Structure 1
Amino acid sequence: MVDEGDTAPEFTAPVATGDVESITLSDAVADGPVVLAFFPGAFTSVCTAEMCSFRDRLSAFEDVDATVYGVSTDSPFSLNEFRAQNDLSFGLVSDHEKDIIDAYDVRTSFDHIGLHGLAKRAVFVLDSDRTITYAWVSDDPSVEPDYDEVATAADAAD
């Protein structure tokens, strides 16, 4: 698994922004720190709460020029609807091919309900060199990250 001090794996993927655009990580970090918040699935209770918590705290990230991206294996089209229904103003990266969750080693399955190849709940903060300055990964999908800790890490990555 990638960890603090590692270079974050590069990726190019669709990003839901209201439209469907493309994001390349190395381009994104050129503008300042990046927060990658992996979540298992749009429209689920804990994932909705998590993304709405990032929405509600977005000014703390913007104040330090950090950009937040949610990352899931949902399609960019469903992520756009999820953004609209929850008034999310940050991009949601679609890892429909599961390349990103594999590169970051945050793939999980919910065998008891037959769902495989989803993202674990995880947060990585990257500096402008793509160095991971903060890493948090949960094996319990019901646990949300410490948002204040993530904001502090984004501030330190600036």
Structure 2
Amino acid sequence: MDLDFDVVELNAADHPEAGETVPDFTRPLVNDEFWEDVSLSEVCAESDDPVVLVFHPMDGAFPATYIWNEIRDRAWHEDATVVGLSISTPYAHKDLLEERDIEGDYRVYSDPGNGVAEQYGIAMELDGMTGIAEPRPSVFVLDGDRTVQYAWVADEWPDFPDYDTVEAQL
């Protein structure tokens, strides 16, 4: 297959594994109407369902589009609280939610400094962009105490989660 991009193997990530508690953080959490600073612990504690934390490339990158289209089409919000996270601004997240037609059902954290990905051990530098990093695609299914029930972290770029396996966790 002739791809318009190179597939790149990524270095090993030192990320939270099943049974571990993920670090808490507070960042702007964007929905289709507004955003406000909300901690992950607050999201987990308020949810009666598992929380699916989806780290994705910056909004507008083709992997982010594919990931969100798949999550929307599979209606994960029916069985879980789904929140995304990327380095994009709240304004870009509002556009992503609108363009992907997922308003109301999903929220996305804005972390332009990529500090959360660094805490989670999943930060990766963008090829050809000195000083700019973003989270590698990752999915963590969490319980109300932020304990990881399932973790998937990309080991190559681009890479996508096994959506069926994530659904089995829900």
TM-score by length of 2: 0.82
Point out where structure 2 has 5 or more consecutive residues left out of the alignment.
1-14
Task: State whether residues 122 and 138 of structure 1, in contact with CA within 8 Å, keep that contact through their aligned partners in structure 2.
Answer: yes
| Secondary structure at the counterpart of residue 41 of structure 2 | helix
Quote the Cα distance in structure 2 between the aligned partners of 1:85 and 1:115: 29
Quote the Cα distance in structure 1 between the aligned partners of 2:128 and 2:114: 20
1:85 paired to 2:94: no
Amino acid in structure 2 at the alignment position of 1:35: V
1:36 aligned to which of 22, 28, 53: 53
Higher helix residue share: 1
TM-score by length of 1: 0.88
Match of 2:24 in 1: 10
Match of 1:48 in 2: 65
Quote the Cα distance in structure 2 between the aligned partners of 1:137 and 1:146: 11
Shift of residue 113 of structure 1? 4.5
| Secondary structure at the counterpart of residue 129 of structure 1 | coil
- The CA deviation string for residues 10-69 of structure 1, in whole angstroms up to 9 with x for no partner, is 0111011021122211111121311011111111112101111111112x442x3x1111
1:22 paired to 2:37: yes
State, as a whole percentage, how many aligned pairs show the same letter: 33
1:99 paired to 2:126: no
For the pair shown, the structure with the greater C-alpha radius of gyration is 2
Match of 1:136 in 2: 152
Quote the Cα distance in structure 1 between the aligned partners of 2:157 and 2:87: 15
List 4+ stretches of structure 1 deviating above 2 A.
110-116
Point out where structure 1 has 5 or more consecutive residues left out of the alignment.
none
Q: 1:97 to 1:135 in 2, by over 3 A?
A: same
Amino acid in structure 1 at the alignment position of 2:52: V
Shift of residue 93 of structure 1? 0.8
Alignment RMSD (CA, Å): 1.5
1:72 paired to 2:86: yes
- The CA deviation string for residues 62-96 of structure 1, in whole angstroms up to 9 with x for no partner, is 2x3x1111110111111111111111231011112
Bigger shift: residues 121-130 or 81-90: 81-90
Bigger shift: residues 97-106 or 5-14: 97-106
